[in-house]
């Protein structure tokens, strides 16, 4: 058995743990040859691969980043304006691979699905700090990112309280609010603004003024993809050479400017950025990524190609890549973190978002 592994798209903590999980399981159980593909699909385009030995994957479980490197600019169907997908399929055959285990987000899964039409076999492993992949309840990298964001909120709480300020923390998460929601709940934020519920500026101002009277300061977590009602997402860069050419960023400062015209309290903004993606994975992500990696090896061993590993109701399973491709999983209204936060008076910037606890029945809400 000869199996390639690649890591594509933005990196996240836990990638090395997952690579180790796949490689060690396949080597230990089947004596498989494992080939590391460098920098995601770029390695397939530029023919940069190397055999992985046990020594290569030793001591990487707790390391951030990815030992294989990654790229979110390598689309074989549009590589510098050229379609090199046939060339990639030829290289796959040249390498004599049975399958490639591809670790990525929705962009990578979409590429795998499209490339599988060229006769290549793939098994997908979901990873992204954004936790926004369809078909799975969780992705590794998310827990570590939430830990970092929650710790940052803890720190903003104490300095915000000391100075009686409005503290805004902008998190990543692209078009989904998972990181902001979980970190906001874990860090006891007063307000959590996420893309799923466009915020009403009057409501944000109302909460701040109310807090000023009650406890003198306010902590707001805002996801980079959040928008004002009737407004647009705030972008940092457009036209990036990547399958998703939009880079979000700056909505925290945008909100700060809006608030400064409406309130007297001082407002400060922190943009967390790539700190959420780097560094050692949390113990949860180490275990989760290892298990997901070993499960991906089982899909390879049983030749269940064209599928991505998923977690559903705490069980490992898999879905067809085509079900994941071109989709995003956002925060649903029946998410318990959302429902719980609303029931405790956390504002999501939408005065119409209400919860009636007495109406909740067993099974109505879902843990995330």
Give residues in contact with ligand F6P (CB under 6 A). Answer: 10, 72, 105, 128-130, 172-174, 224, 247-248, 277
Residue of 130, 132, 190, 335 with catalytic role: 130
SS3 assignment, position 189: coil
Active site includes 130? yes
> 138 or 277, CB closer to ligand F6P?
277
Query: What is the Cβ-side half-sphere exposure of residue 288, based on CA atoms within 13 angstroms?
Result: 25
> 63 or 247, CB closer to ligand F6P?
247
> 25 or 128, CB closer to ligand F6P?
128
Q: How far apart are CA 344 and CA 66, in angstroms?
A: 39
DSSP string, 75-130: -TTSBTTB--HHHHHHHHHHHT-SEEEEEE-HHHHHHHHHHHTTT--EEEEEB-TT
Smallest gap from Cβ 287 to ligand F6P, in A, equals: 22
Query: What is the Cβ-side half-sphere exposure of residue 50, based on CA atoms within 13 angstroms?
Result: 10
Contact in structure between 230 and 217 (CB atoms under 8 Å): no
Contacts of 122 (CB under 8 A, 6+ apart): 99, 100, 101, 102, 112, 113, 115, 116, 305, 306, 321
Q: Which position's Cβ is nearest ligand F6P?
A: 172
Q: In degrees rounded to 5, what are phi and psi of residue 163?
A: -100, 0
**Kind of pairing between the strands at 307-312 and 315-320:** antiparallel
Smallest gap from Cβ 39 to ligand F6P, in A, equals: 14
Q: In degrees rounded to 5, what are phi and psi of residue 279?
A: 85, 180
Smallest gap from Cβ 12 to ligand F6P, in A, equals: 7
> 247 or 304, CB closer to ligand F6P?
247
SS3 assignment, position 180: helix
> 177 or 293, CB closer to ligand F6P?
177
Query: What is the Cβ-side half-sphere exposure of residue 199, based on CA atoms within 13 angstroms?
Result: 32
> 50 or 274, CB closer to ligand F6P?
274
Smallest gap from Cβ 4 to ligand F6P, in A, equals: 23
b/e string for 22-59 if b means 16 or more Cβ within 10 A? bbbbbbeeeebbbbbbbbbbbbbbeeebeebeeebbee
> 40 or 306, CB closer to ligand F6P?
40
Q: Which residue carries 């890549």 as its tokens? A: 321
Smallest gap from Cβ 218 to ligand F6P, in A, equals: 24
Smallest gap from Cβ 73 to ligand F6P, in A, equals: 9
Contact in structure between 3 and 98 (CB atoms under 8 Å): yes
> 118 or 274, CB closer to ligand F6P?
274
Smallest gap from Cβ 130 to ligand F6P, in A, equals: 5
Q: How far apart are CA 209 and CA 201, in angstroms?
A: 12
Q: Dihedral of the CA atoms 268, 273, 275, 281 (nearest 10)?
A: 120
Smallest gap from Cβ 311 to ligand F6P, in A, equals: 18
Q: How far apart are CA 82 and CA 45, in angstroms?
A: 11
Annotated catalytic residues are 130
């Amino acid at each position: 058995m000869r199996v390639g592994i690649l890591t594509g798209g933005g990196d996240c903590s836990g990638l090395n743990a997952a690579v180790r999980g796949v490689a060690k399981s396949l080597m230990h159980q089947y004596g498989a040859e494992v080939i590391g593909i460098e920098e995601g699909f770029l390695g397939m385009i530029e023919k940069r691969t190397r055999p992985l030995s046990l020594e290569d994957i030793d001591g990487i479980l707790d390391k951030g980043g990815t030992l294989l490197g990654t790229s979110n600019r390598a689309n074989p169907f549009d590589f510098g304006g050229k379609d090199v997908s046939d060339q990639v399929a030829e290289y796959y055959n040249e390498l004599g691979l049975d399958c490639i285990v591809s670790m990525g987000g929705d962009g990578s899964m979409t590429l795998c699905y499209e490339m599988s039409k060229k006769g290549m076999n793939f098994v997908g492993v979901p990873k992204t700090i954004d936790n926004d992949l369809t078909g799975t309840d969780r992705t590794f990298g998310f827990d570590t990112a939430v830990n970092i964001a929650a710790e940052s909120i803890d720190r903003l709480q104490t300095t915000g309280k000391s100075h009686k300020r409005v503290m805004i923390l902008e998190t990543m998460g692209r078009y989904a609010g998972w990181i902001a929601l979980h970190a906001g709940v874990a860090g006891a934020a007063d307000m959590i603004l996420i893309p799923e519920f466009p915020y009403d500026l009057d409501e944000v101002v109302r909460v701040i003024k109310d807090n000023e009277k009650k406890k003198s300061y306010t902590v707001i977590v805002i996801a980079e993809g959040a928008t004002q009602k009737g407004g647009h997402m705030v972008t940092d860069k457009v036209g990036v050479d990547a399958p998703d050419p939009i880079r979000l960023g700056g909505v925290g400062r945008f909100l700060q400017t809006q608030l400064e015209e409406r309130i007297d309290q001082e407002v400060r903004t922190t943009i967390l950025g790539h700190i959420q993606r780097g560094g050692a994975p949390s113990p949860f992500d180490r275990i989760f990524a290892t298990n997901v990696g070993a499960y991906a090896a089982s899909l390879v061993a049983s030749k269940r190609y064209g599928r991505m590993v998923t977690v559903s109701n705490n069980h490992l399973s898999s879905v067809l890549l085509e079900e994941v491709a071109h989709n995003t999983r956002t925060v649903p209204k029946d998410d318990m973190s959302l429902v719980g936060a609303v029931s405790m008076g956390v504002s999501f910037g939408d005065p119409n978002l209400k919860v009636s606890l007495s109406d909740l029945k067993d099974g109505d809400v879902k843990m995330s």
